[in-house]
């Protein structure tokens, strides 16, 4: 049995120090403190791998210091090994885990996935299934929980039909798989080059959004024989048109769920679109003429059972992670370049402490 390695007082970490693109915002620090002592219920994880999410670089580029409490370590998802804990009965030293740190906690404790160690509440991690690698597990928690809670919020049931706008997004790909586990039919959109990827996730029908013009107009002109029970807008479009015109293709008692508007920048067009979306959601239907329910899914980190359920589905093979590319820890800026192309198919992973050859490190 190997002797546990001492936990250092400082570590290497990528730290957001100013507003801007990752290249402007981030600095690689070698003296970032490892959290000591832990708060009750916290665990300290030696990070094996971390995943990037679009929200990571968007927050860096858009949010001022007083909101993000800079400096802080960005990103949420990780896999790793438990090396310390405080009053946690669920995990012991040496447990291989995957998990995340949610935004509110990150804002307070400055802990993020792009570091050698991360301290999180024990409810934010789950044991990594043996059939899922460290690299694959790193990209699971945030987007899989978003998809699961979106379907729960909508009440998707066996025999119903889910329409996913953005089937090749991380949330969309998980939603397709989760819907199939529930016994639902899935119709998904993506660009034509991603059709095979989306169908392999389980989509029964596919729409190439690049060939049909505005999607809401296409669906109005070509409504399904049986209207969709749930629409999941997984792209983060600020334009509310898919929702405001949905009465022709969403069932009367159906639900429209969005991951929330994620504009690429604040300009007159995006501001106008978000105001329209807010009006459609907030004003009563007799004023707007829009009746379908509308929800924005915000991941509830307190639902530890959701992460455990995702782990169960991974172990059973019902959920399969997808990895786009793996980048060395020192090459985080290259990893951000990849995710910011919007062409990543699967998760962009940062290898924090695994052997450099693990899973084929991206050049």
Distance CA 249, CA 216 (A): 9
CA distance 331 to 310: 30
- Number of domains present in the structure of the chain: 2
Q: Are 309 and 123 in contact (CB under 8 A)?
A: no
Same domain, 147 and 90: no
Compute CA distances 64 → 17, 113, 215, whole Å: 11, 21, 34
Which range (222-236, 258-272, 275-289) has the least confidence? Answer: 275-289
What number of residues does the chain have?
363
- Whether residue 305 is contained in a domain is answered as no
Query: Of 252, 279, 296, which residue constitutes the final position of a domain?
Result: 296
Residues 122, 95 share a domain: yes
- Which residues, including other chains, have CB under 8 Å from residue 195's CB and lie 6 or more apart? 206, 208
**Could you tell me if residue 326 is left (phi over 0), alpha (psi between -120 and 50 degrees) or otherwise beta?**
beta
Beta strands 185-190 and 161-165 are parallel
Q: What is the pLDDT of residue 288?
A: 42
Output the CA torsion sign for 155, 156, 160, 161.
positive
Rounded to the nearest 5 percent, the helix, strand and coil shares of the chain are 35, 25, 40
> Model-level pTM greater than 0.95?
no
Residues 206 and 132 both lie in one domain: no
Report the DSSP pairing between strands 161-165 and 96-100.
Answer: unpaired
In a domain, 310, yes or no: no
- 14 with 92, same domain: the answer is yes
pLDDT of residue 203: 98
Integer Cα distance of 36 and 55 in angstroms: 28
Q: What is the pLDDT of residue 280?
A: 59
302 falls within a domain? no
Residues 245 and 276 in one domain: yes
In this structure, of 170-184, 257-271, 276-290, the range with the lowest mean pLDDT score is: 276-290
Same domain, 128 and 266: no
Would residue 217 count as lying in a domain?
A: yes
What integer pLDDT is reported at residue 278 of this predicted model? 56
User: What was the pLDDT predicted at 98?
Assistant: 98
Tokens of 45: 């994880």
Which of the two residues, 316 and 61, has the higher pLDDT score? Answer: 316
- Given a cut of 90, is residue 262 above it in pLDDT? no
Distance CA 247, CA 257 (A): 14
Distance CA 152, CA 173 (A): 16
pLDDT at 305: 95
Structural domain including 28 reads 10-140+321-351
Residue 34 pLDDT more than 90? yes
CATH of the domain at 128: 3.90.180.10
Contact 29, 42 (CB under 8 A): no
User: Could you tell me if 149 and 291 lie in one domain?
Assistant: yes
Output the six-digit token pair for 104. 């509110």
Decide if 333 is inside a domain. Answer: yes
* Residue 303 included in any domain: no
Q: Are residues 100 and 195 in the same domain?
A: no
Report whether pLDDT(251) > 80.
yes
The SS3 call for residue 352 is coil
Kindly state whether residues 252 and 263 are assigned to the same domain: yes
Q: What average pLDDT does this structure show over 206-220?
A: 97
Residues 128, 156 within the same domain: no
d(CA 347, CA 44): 24
Span 55-104, pLDDT tens digits: 899 889 888 888 888 999 999 999 999 999 998 889 999 999 999 999 88
Query: Is 362 contained in some domain?
Result: no
Element (H or E) spanning 338, and its range? helix 332-339
Q: Are 120 and 170 in a shared domain?
A: no
Is 72 contained in some domain? yes
CA angle 30, 331, 76 (to 5 degrees): 75
Q: Partners of 72 in the beta sheet?
A: 16
Q: 15 and 108 in one domain?
A: yes
């Amino acid at each position: 049995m190997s002797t546990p390695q001492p936990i250092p007082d400082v570590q290497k970490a990528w730290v957001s120090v100013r507003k801007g693109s990752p290249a402007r915002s981030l600095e690689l620090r070698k003296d970032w403190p490892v959290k000591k002592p832990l708060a009750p219920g916290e665990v300290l994880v030696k990070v094996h791998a971390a995943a990037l999410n679009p929200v990571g670089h968007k927050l860096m580029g858009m949010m001022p210091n007083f909101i993000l409490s800079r400096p802080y370590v960005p990103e949420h998802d990780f896999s790793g090994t438990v090396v310390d804990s405080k009053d946690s009965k669920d995990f012991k030293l040496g447990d291989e885990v995957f998990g995340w740190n949610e935004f509110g906690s990150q804002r307070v404790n400055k802990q993020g996935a792009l570091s050698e160690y991360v301290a999180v509440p024990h409810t934010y991690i789950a044991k990594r299934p043996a059939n899922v690698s460290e690299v694959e597990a790193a990209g699971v928690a945030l987007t899989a929980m978003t998809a699961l809670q979106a379907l729960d919020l909508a009440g998707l049931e066996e025999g119903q039909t889910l329409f996913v706008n953005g089937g090749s997004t991380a949330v969309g790909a998980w939603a397709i798989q989760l819907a199939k586990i529930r016994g639902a039919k899935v119709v998904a959109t993506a660009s034509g080059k991603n059709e095979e990827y989306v169908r392999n996730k389980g989509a029964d029908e596919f729409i190439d959004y690049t060939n049909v013009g505005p999607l809401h107009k296409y669906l109005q002109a070509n409504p399904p024989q049986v209207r969709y029970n749930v629409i999941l807008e997984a792209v983060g479009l600020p334009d509310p048109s898919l929702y405001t015109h949905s009465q022709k293709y969403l069932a009367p008692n159906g639900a429209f769920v969005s991951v929330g508007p994620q504009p690429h920048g604040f300009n007159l067009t995006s501001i106008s679109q978000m105001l329209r979306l807010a009006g459609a959601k907030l004003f009563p239907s007799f004023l707007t003429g829009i009746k379908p329910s509308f929800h924005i899914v915000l991941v509830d980190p307190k639902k530890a059972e959701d992460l455990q359920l995702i782990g169960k589905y991974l172990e059973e093979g019902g959920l399969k992670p997808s990895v786009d590319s793996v980048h060395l820890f020192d090459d985080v800026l290259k990893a951000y370049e990849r995710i910011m192309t919007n062409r990543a198919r699967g998760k962009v992973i940062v290898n924090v402490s695994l052997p450099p050859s693990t899973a084929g490190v991206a050049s």
